[in-house]
Structure 1
Amino acid sequence: MTLTTPVEEPVHYVALGDSYAAMGSRAVTDPGDPCAVAADSYPVLLADALGVEDFVNASCQGAVTADVGEKTALGTAASEGSPQVAALGEETDLVTLSIGGNDVSFIDMTRCSESACPAGLREKVAGELEELPARLDDVYVAIEQQAPGARVVATAYMPLLNDACTDVPDAAWLAEQITRINGEVSAAAERHDATYVMPADAEEHTGCSAEPWVDFTGEATGSYPMHPTAAGQQAMAEAIAAAVG
């Protein structure tokens, strides 16, 4: 599928979330932007494809659920110190949401791909996963209050690992935790009548594949370490466009 056919709706699209929505190629990111919002991230690609009249990318690297629905430490497209949902309004037609990973020590977990996981991380992650459903519910409540008529699309964290990643320490555990995070993201979307999107064939494009959609180091793809490549961002944009089309 190519992203070339604009549609009449939505006319107002807001992207919320963390670095999986904000970051694309390092080469096109404004070095002065603390949120590291890139011109080739999936929200930008999607907004262009849908031909929206009004687009706000409020996503920000490092964001947790509280940054979306309560406050933000780095600032977003909304006013400094405001929650990302401040960018929403009654006129908002479409919201995309990438959130939850940083609430479950995602960055610490990705370091397990380089060496053995630090002591206590597994117990910490288990506790955070138990708290994640309620935190995601709070985000949806905040979105519903700000933009009651908007369609919400929750985006998955594309898998870093598969069976081919035999040289990665704790690979099986790390893959399982990403699956569990996505499970909670999907379940929360279902509870709140949102749409959950994972690009087709994502399991075939892990960091161990010949055509990765997520890169361990980012060196070969010009992406951020442990984040979607340009191809991964394109795949996510296409999957969302298909879901809302």
Structure 2
Amino acid sequence: MRRFIPLLSVALLAACSTPAEEPQPPHYVALGDSYAAMGSTTLPLDPPNTCVRAQDSYPELAAKDMGAELTNVACQGASTLDVLSSAGEHPAQVDALREDTDLVSLSVGGNDASFVRLTQCATDDICQTESGPQIDMEIRDLPRRLDKVYAEIHHRSPNAKVLATGYLPLIKHGETCPFIEKIPASDREWLAESIERINQAVREAAVRHGATYVLADSALDHTACSPSPWVDFTGKETNSFPMHPTHAGQQAMAEALRAAL
């Protein structure tokens, strides 16, 4: 496995040795869903546009700062099935992995737990009644699905460091604001708890498979109800996609990713 070498060490090696091959940049593969793909709505998208890969998503920002060779296959709507197989119009995301891949970031699990429907609960006061049992069942099944993803990553890129990213919370317990004040308190609590449970499943799967769980520090201080949101209900004031990370949120996740290295 190629190592991330401090710049000072590189300079010393160059000064004290005979001419040699220049160190290759680390190979970084970004797997996952819209939380790793979407960014600012004002920036051009990388093809294929159906994946809505933004230039300021956290994989793109982190790769630039690290000087890494990035293969970004994160795609909006992706579930563990899309990571592992060609379930739709795109190839299996794991096909981007190589034996010499150094770093993998993984943002997946939300769509396995009906994340789109879950975020709609911020505007629907009967969401828990209608969708609660299904989402609960899907969250309980999430560990099994995540274990399959890790098994394939380790098979294809046995020496890669894997960083599993959590989902920036829309709201926290006991929180309300004008956008969600019409939602009953019990439903708000259920929404916050459900996102926590998804993150818990992602974190525990990372521990089981020797990966590192990553979530930006102070994420609970930057919910969609906060004055400086890292995720937005509508995206209108932050030029972001509804119910997804803002530019500031993607920057915070990129910084957390680098810190984890």
TM-score by length of 1: 0.91
* Structure 2 counterparts to residues 1-245 of structure 1, below 5 A: 11-30=26-45, 33-52=49-68, 54-75=69-90, 82-118=91-127, 119-162=129-172, 163-166=174-177, 167=181, 169=183, 170-244=187-261
**What do residues 120-141 of structure 1 show as CA deviations (whole Å, max 9, x unaligned)?**
3000011101110000000001
Structure 2 gaps of 5+ residues are 1-5, 8-22
CA distance in 2, matches of 1:197, 1:9: 26
Residues 137 and 49 (structure 1), Cα distance of their counterparts in 2 relative to 1, 3 Å cut: same
CA distance in 1, matches of 2:120, 2:70: 34
Structure 1 counterpart SS, 2:163: strand
**What do residues 18-58 of structure 1 show as CA deviations (whole Å, max 9, x unaligned)?**
00000000111438610000000000000001011x21001
Structure 1 gaps of 5+ residues are 1-5, 76-81
**What do residues 164-194 of structure 1 show as CA deviations (whole Å, max 9, x unaligned)?**
3251522110000000000000000000000
* One-letter amino acid of the structure 1 residue matched with residue 226 of structure 2: S
Contact 1:109 1:117 in 2 (8 A): no
Question: How big is the shift at 1:72?
Answer: 3.9
CA distance in 2, matches of 1:110, 1:117: 13
CA distance in 1, matches of 2:204, 2:24: 26
* One-letter amino acid of the structure 2 residue matched with residue 241 of structure 1: R
CA distance in 2, matches of 1:9, 1:176: 43
Contact 1:95 1:153 in 2 (8 A): yes
TM-score by length of 2: 0.85
Query: How many residue pairs get matched?
Result: 233
Question: How big is the shift at 1:145?
Answer: 1.0
Question: How big is the shift at 1:69?
Answer: 1.5
Question: How big is the shift at 1:86?
Answer: 0.3
CA distance in 1, matches of 2:182, 2:242: 15
Question: How big is the shift at 1:116?
Answer: 1.1
CA distance in 2, matches of 1:9, 1:157: 32
Identity %: 51
Q: Which has the larger radius of gyration?
A: 2
CA distance in 1, matches of 2:143, 2:25: 28
Contact 1:111 1:117 in 2 (8 A): no
Residues 126 and 239 (structure 1), Cα distance of their counterparts in 2 relative to 1, 3 Å cut: same
